[in-house]
A and B are shown apart, each in its own frame.
Chain A
């Protein structure tokens, strides 16, 4: 076993990359939101790993913050998704292009 923190960081990187690819490739807004959640959790995992590496509670405290923020973000995001669906009858980001020059 090389270094548990190192391994966890690798996992976090993979998770982040997965989330990013999801945001970039998915067409549906709901799935993009889920991908963003995955990226947030990857960042949280990195914090926890760093906390365990240095034997400090800060990492876990930060994760709690991220959880709370993610919850808030999702609630607003879902409300927006609902409204978008009400007004445009679609959730395809490639068709939601009204805000352009």
Chain B
């Protein structure tokens, strides 16, 4: 079975090569077949691989395929080596399966775009990089994938590059994630210096012998790795790029900025869990960052008016939940939330894309309205996604994963009532803004007419994802309901079990509270937004300041502008003519001066030139005779 591994990333890279080299000459149906077909093939192979993995577990729980040796310097040798264990299997399933659905959707969504081939080439390259990231056996190869997905994210955010603001958003995403990437790279160097290998299983094996728990080295390394994860996963304080990244096409937001790339940080931390367990301080930091992020981003989502920005902030908030779960040591709960989140958030973005297309590229939710009757399929699928996002009890996948995180944030050994309260507040806010989004977009009166209904090719991915958004949670039930824990049993082949506190209150009580809070959020949204055409309470001046503050994402952009951009511009301005510049300017000045002196001699008189030549010859001969 392990011979199949290389084909999973090979098909997308093949698609990328064909489309980028010959894309201009191919017709649109051929491009769509290559672009979506390669990813579908990868998904097929992944599913075959997954079945065989689940039926007969390979020795050591790992499929391993060494392709070739990449480079070897001194005592560092890096191989191109693919490795699939239980954790990676979850990720490659999401990447290829959700990726394939999104590619099929994009084939129809992007049909009228002039740069069809470039879009699919970038998407295929992204899928390949993301697969390399999660399948890499060593951290160097993982870093290659890590940078590859960053590059593709940049290319696809700026896909419509004619609009300057899109290019700015792409630059912003690239630069801010680069801060995290640099920290990650330094972390990898430090890790290599300490452990002497970059092989993942080698590191995980040696780390407990190498580092004492909580020693300064391991704390530094894990914090640097965490910073890398924070950049990619848009966690506080590096979250500001994700809302702007919505400048890209909707399928890009669904694939890169909801389902896969932004969870790379979660993967990194889960993959290196042994290191993080050795550093309890970092675990606490992860949990706090997650809790703060989910709250901050959730509040921002409340005030947004752009449908995609609402979803972007909710993505940041949901990844905050994953970080919170990682931080309290609920590894499998974090990965489970990643699993369900990929389905419902991809679904929401794709459905939002359909709505935006149908309404002449209208992004403002207050210009939509009344779509329930006119786009029933989109309404039902969006409802399934929204139910999962707000974690409606028992009928949505989001409930099972989020409930587990809420429970563990209190009950896990590292858990804390404060973290639980933050997560609970986040759950309330999530339900509130999801209800607001649903009611404003799908109920009320029509404000913009529907000009195009989505085609079959776009509806089918929506329906599949909607089905999964409802049912994907049923593979993992809370302990007090059903003894069905397929997912955590699977993931815990790699990740450690969640340690619980010794004395605990009843889990059912917590579930009841979580469910009530969610329903309260939905109810509040219903009171505030149902059947309120003018939504007058929003215009009150007392709230305007708060709304403005939240609309700007807690003014982080302005803060960074003030803290970093302005001083930087100031320093560069006063340093514009420094010593080194003076040297180069001096060379240029001297050249000009010499030119003006000697150009006098170029007067066109042939005789003078001959005299010059003669004088030169005489000078050289004299010199020769004298010396």
Contact = CB atoms under 8 A, between A and B. Distances in A.
Interface of A: 20, 23-24, 32, 93-94, 96-101
Contact of B603 (A32, A93, A96, A100): A100
A101 B607 contact: no
B605 interface: yes
A24 B604 contact: no
B506 interface: no
A100 B607 contact: no
Interface of B: 599-600, 602-607, 610-611, 614
A88 B604 CA distance: 15
12 contacts: A20-B614, A24-B607, A93-B607, A94-B605, A94-B607, A96-B606, A97-B604, A99-B602, A99-B604, A100-B602, A101-B602, A101-B603
A24 B611 contact: yes
B605 A97 contact: yes
Contacts of A20: 614
Contacts of A93: 605-607
Contacts of B602: 99-101
Given A94-B605, A94-B607, A101-B603, 15 more contacts: A20-B614, A23-B610, A24-B607, A24-B610, A24-B611, A93-B605, A93-B606, A93-B607, A96-B606, A97-B603, A97-B604, A98-B604, A100-B602, A101-B600, A101-B602
Contacts of A96: 604, 606
A35 B182 CA distance: 74
A32 B604 CA distance: 16
Contacts of B599: 101
A25 B383 CA distance: 101
B568 to A, nearest CB: 46
Contacts of B603: 97, 100-101
Nearest to A25: B607
A50 B606 CA distance: 33
Contacts of B611: 24
Nearest to B600: A101
A26 to B, nearest CB: 9
Contacts, number: 27
Contacts of B610: 23-24
Main secondary structure of the interface of A (DSSP, over half): loop
Give me the 7 closest cross-chain CB pairs, A-B, nearest first: A100-B604, A97-B604, A101-B599, A101-B602, A93-B606, A100-B603, A99-B604
Contacts of B605: 93-94, 97, 100
B625 to A, nearest CB: 16
Contacts of A99: 602, 604
A23 B543 CA distance: 96
Nearest to B595: A101
Nearest to A99: B604
Nearest to A100: B604
A86 to B, nearest CB: 19
Contacts of B600: 101
Contacts of B606: 32, 93, 96
A101 B607 CA distance: 16
B579 to A, nearest CB: 34
Among A96, A99, A101: residue with most chain B CB under 10 A: A101
Contacts of A100: 602-605
A33 to B, nearest CB: 12
A93 B603 CA distance: 12
A30 to B, nearest CB: 14
A95 to B, nearest CB: 10
A100 B611 CA distance: 16
A97 B600 CA distance: 14
B594 to A, nearest CB: 13
Nearest to A97: B604
A38 to B, nearest CB: 14
Contacts of B614: 20
Contacts of B604: 96-100
A93 B610 CA distance: 12
A23 B607 CA distance: 8
A94 B603 CA distance: 11
A100 B600 CA distance: 9
Of B602, B604, B610, most buried by chain A (CB within 10 Å of CB) is B604
A20 B605 CA distance: 16
Nearest to A20: B614
B599 to A, nearest CB: 4
A20 B610 CA distance: 9
B72 to A, nearest CB: 60
**Among the interface residues A93, A96, A97, A100, which one has the most CB atoms of the partner chain B within 10 A?**
A100
A100 B608 CA distance: 12
A60 B607 CA distance: 32
Nearest to B596: A101
A80 to B, nearest CB: 13
Contacts of A23: 610
A94 B607 CA distance: 8
B595 to A, nearest CB: 9
B597 to A, nearest CB: 11
Contacts of A97: 603-605
B610 to A, nearest CB: 6
Nearest to B611: A24
A57 B120 CA distance: 77
A24 B609 CA distance: 10
Identify which of B599, B603, B607, B610 gathers the most chain A CB atoms within 10 Å of its CB: B607
A96 B607 CA distance: 11
Contacts of A24: 607, 610-611
B121 to A, nearest CB: 54
Contacts of B607: 24, 93-94
Nearest to B614: A20
A24 B606 CA distance: 9
A93 B607 CA distance: 8
A37 to B, nearest CB: 15
B605 to A, nearest CB: 6
B609 to A, nearest CB: 10
A89 B529 CA distance: 94
A32 B607 CA distance: 10
B591 to A, nearest CB: 15
